[in-house]
Copies of this chain bind each other. A is one copy, B any other.
Amino acid sequence: MADRLPVAVDAMGGDDAPKVVVEGARIAAERYGLPVLLVGDPERMGDTGDLPVMAATQVVEMGAEPASSVRALKDSSIVRAAEAVRDGAASALLSAGNTGAAMAASLLRLGRIKGVSRPAIAVPFPVRGSTPCILLDCGANADCRPEWLVQFAVLGTVYSRERYGVARPRVGLLTIGEEAGKGNSLVKEACELLEEGGWAERCGARYLGNVEGRDLLTGVADVIVTDGFTGNVVLKSMEGGYAIFEAAVRETLRSTPEVAATAPVVDAVLDPLFEGFDPVRTGGALLLGTRGVSLIAHGSSSAIAIANAIATADELVAIDIVGSLRASIANDIEANTDPGS
């Protein structure tokens, strides 16, 4: 552990930052033994224990316009955290703050892996009894070109294999019908490119063709590609639906004295189930395609969720996810007559 660089944590990002983020960082360091670098305003961070702190006096607020904020606020915690990775002071970046700002700071300070047209946000969806299904792009690129979706397929394949050990990831294209030709104009064009299939052979994927929204949680696919608008809407719809459903079940199970009396027995089995479904606890969305690990946690992350995300970031560095992505993209581009935009 001594030779491992710390994970740079944006202490000022998150609904309850810096308090909950600092708590999470301390759990990661003190309980899990992980190296952590806190980046933020020392005046506001409270008790940081023995953790190293990198001072940053500014904050990009949750609602702020990402790109201009990142350009203007050069001493903001998210920008300084990204610079720590760029400068070799940290191994990876974690933020639970403004997603767009985390993305912009990562893009501007870390840069793209050579050959990557557009980095994408990859989110693992929990599949019962199996490895997660990775959906990308979940919001980095609202408007996409068809060839970007092919590259997302390659990035997602590498992520599924390297992080979850899926030997030959099954990749689907998200659309509104299983037959080829179903979808909007972007999907129809992407469908043709994906079906050429050379990319799948080169990166070791199995291309499934079209999949539908219902396939996200069924274990049919390991990777599902879509544009960043659709992906983000689906992600937030599913998170919202899940939260409402869990709350309704919990409330209903207290709605009469008779059913409330079953709580000790019922909660003992339902609590672990709910934990497995909860998107907040899955450990963050990864920005795939930047030269460095940049993990984005949910704004409402608890201290434990932050600690788990730090562990995930540390693990992604340990398995050299960026090196694997770089190798696959280089391989794909070498074989491809069109080197991309």
Contacts and interface: CB of A to CB of B under 8 A. Distances in A.
A79 interface: no
Interface string A233-255: 11111111111110011001101
Contacts of A179: 63, 65
B277 A245 contact: yes
Given A187-B229, A248-B128, A269 B265 contact: no
A176 interface: yes
A232 interface: yes
A34 interface: no
Contacts of A249: 249, 270, 273
Nearest to A255: B269
Nearest to A188: B142
A100 B178 CA distance: 13
Given A184-B227, A216-B237, A273-B249, A232 B266 contact: no
A116 B258 CA distance: 54
Interface residues of A, number: 61
B265 A237 contact: no
B259 A277 contact: no
Contacts of A266: 253, 259, 262, 266
A230 B65 CA distance: 24
Given A184-B229, A229-B184, A241 B269 contact: no
Interface string A174-197: 111111001111010000000000
A215 interface: yes
A262 B241 CA distance: 26
A24 to B, nearest CB: 23
Majority SS at the chain A contact face: helix
Contact of A241 (B241, B258, B265, B270): B241
Interface core residue of A214, A234, A249 (most chain B CB under 10 Å): A214
A178 B64 CA distance: 11
A198 B277 CA distance: 43
Interface string A133-177: 000000100110000000000000000000000000000001111
Interface in A201-239: 212-218, 226-230, 232-239
Contact of A214 (B175, B212, B237): B237
Contacts of A268: 259
Given A142-B184, A233-B234, A241 B217 contact: yes
Contacts of A252: 269-270, 273
A238 B236 contact: no
A128 B174 CA distance: 29
A341 interface: no
A256 interface: yes
A269 to B, nearest CB: 5
Contacts of A277: 245, 248
A326 to B, nearest CB: 29
Interface of A: 63, 65, 100, 128, 139, 142-143, 174-179, 182-185, 187, 212-218, 226-230, 232-245, 248-249, 252-253, 255-256, 258-259, 261-262, 265-266, 268-270, 273, 277
5 contacts: A65-B179, A142-B187, A184-B229, A217-B244, A253-B266
